[in-house]
Amino acid sequence: MNCKPINFTGTEMKVELTNLCRDGRCTFCSPLIRPAVVEAGQEVFLQRFTDNLDLYLEGGGRKVILTGGGEPTDAPGKLFGALRQVRERTEELGVELELLAVYTNAVKLLRPIMGCGGQTFLDRLAEMGLKDLNLSVHGLTRKQKVVISGEAMASVDFETLIPAIVRKGIRVMTRTVLADGFIDSIQQIEEFVSWAAGLGVGICYFSDMFQLPVRNEQTTPGSKTVMQWTDDHRTPFDGLIADVRRSNAFVFVSEFTRHNAQGRTFEFRHGESGIRVMFGDLAIGNESEDQATYGYMKPDGSMDVHNNARDANKREFVPLEEMKAYLQMYRPGRGDL
């Protein structure tokens, strides 16, 4: 990060807390095809997080997203430590966040935190002032979910979980990848949105799988299997958007670009329930060096203004010859990589 103050107004601070994901088996898992960074220990990470958060807030940023990398609930010390810092720093600086979100595969939310007298992850997140939960739901049927994201994610009881989150006063957004053979048609989208709206979801977000225009060992060093799956299951995004525009179930609201025009977002209203329905695509790997696409903090504790540039001066990357061991350590039980 250079010394020049950066204007973060309107941009997100995305924080990858950890590389670890114990339960997800996502066939399209994008962290596995992006440059991987070494993971800092909890104490070092949280110290760097606090410093970066100050830079971000003082630069006008008001949207903090705790995400992965991996699965935030698989690093509870970092997750709750970061939320504590957010609460303390925003109070001290007298600023109010527009967004304070955790992106999660949802597997652990209703489970007790080890050593916390039965308190669940959801209980603790609510207690710490979380405003938004972003849940990964990548299919309509159990069969679809097992194939695209594995048994544990397919077993999440959303009919119980989502109303429980809403009762805590936390907004719920679902995040669903558009993939051929899974959620890939206007009929499936309509069915999914009706289901989600009925449970209390406020926003359904459907994402195209990442486009990776630059492909070499430096920019896409991870799993060739994941890369191939992504290429083989990409849906015709623009065609789907045209179908949504024609559908009587949705009302078009707006189209805008995000992340310095590398991504497009299409926003609709669901006619029956009124909830927001968004569709986004994103090409990653071509970020400009001098504009704040994000405040993007990685598990090594470094923050940069974009995601994927492999600048070894700024980030502590996993050496390419150690990628296999990295995948085994941070994706335990995945023989498919």
Q: Is the separation of the CB atoms in 18 and 72 below 8 Å?
A: yes
Q: Which is nearer to ligand SF4, 186 or 327 (CB)?
A: 327
How far apart, in Å, are the Cα atoms of 118 and each of 74, 113, 114? Answer: 17, 7, 8
What's the closest the beta carbon of residue 70 comes to ligand SF4, in angstroms?
5
Nearer to ligand SF4, 106 or 249 (CB): 106
Distance of closest approach, residue 210 Cβ to ligand SF4, in angstroms: 11
Write down how long the chain is: 337
The residue at minimum Cβ distance from ligand SF4 is 24
Least distance (Å) from ligand SF4 to the CB of residue 271?
Answer: 31
Closer by beta carbon to ligand SF4, 134 or else 149: 149
Q: Which residues bind ligand SF4 (CB under 6 A)?
A: 21, 24, 26, 29, 31, 68, 70-71, 105, 136, 149
Instruction: CB nearer to ligand SF4: give 71 or 132.
Output: 71
Cβ within 8 Å of residue 198, ≥6 positions away: 273
Tell the smallest beta-carbon distance from residue 89 to ligand SF4 (Å): 27
Our CB check for ligand SF4 shows the closer of 209 and 292 to be 209
Structure tokens at 28: 């399209």
Q: Helix, strand or coil for residue 298?
A: coil
Nearer to ligand SF4, 15 or 29 (CB): 29
Per residue, the 3-state secondary structure of 156-172, as one string, reads: CCHHHHHHHHHHCCCEE
Picking from 182, 165, 162, 95, the residue whose alpha carbon sits closest to that of residue 123 is 165
Residue corresponding to tokens 């504590």: 84
Smallest distance, Å, CB 4 to ligand SF4? 33
> Which positions ≥6 away from 289 have C-beta within 8 Å?
305, 306, 309
**Which one, 153 or 292, has the nearer CB to ligand SF4?**
153
The full 3-state SS of 303-337, as one line of letters, equals: EECCCCCCCCCCCCECCHHHHHHHHHHHCCCCCCC
In the complex, minimum distance from the CB of residue 18 to ligand SF4, in angstroms, rounded to a whole number: 9
How many other CB atoms are there within 10 angstroms of residue 292's CB atom? 23
Q: Report in angstroms how near the CB of residue 104 gets to ligand SF4 at its nearest.
A: 8
Percent of the chain as helix, strand, coil, to the nearest 5:
35, 20, 45
Q: Which residue type, as a one-letter code, is found at position 335?
A: G
Residue 202 CB, nearest approach to ligand SF4 (Å): 21
**Please, which residue, 194 or 225, has the CB nearer to ligand SF4?**
225
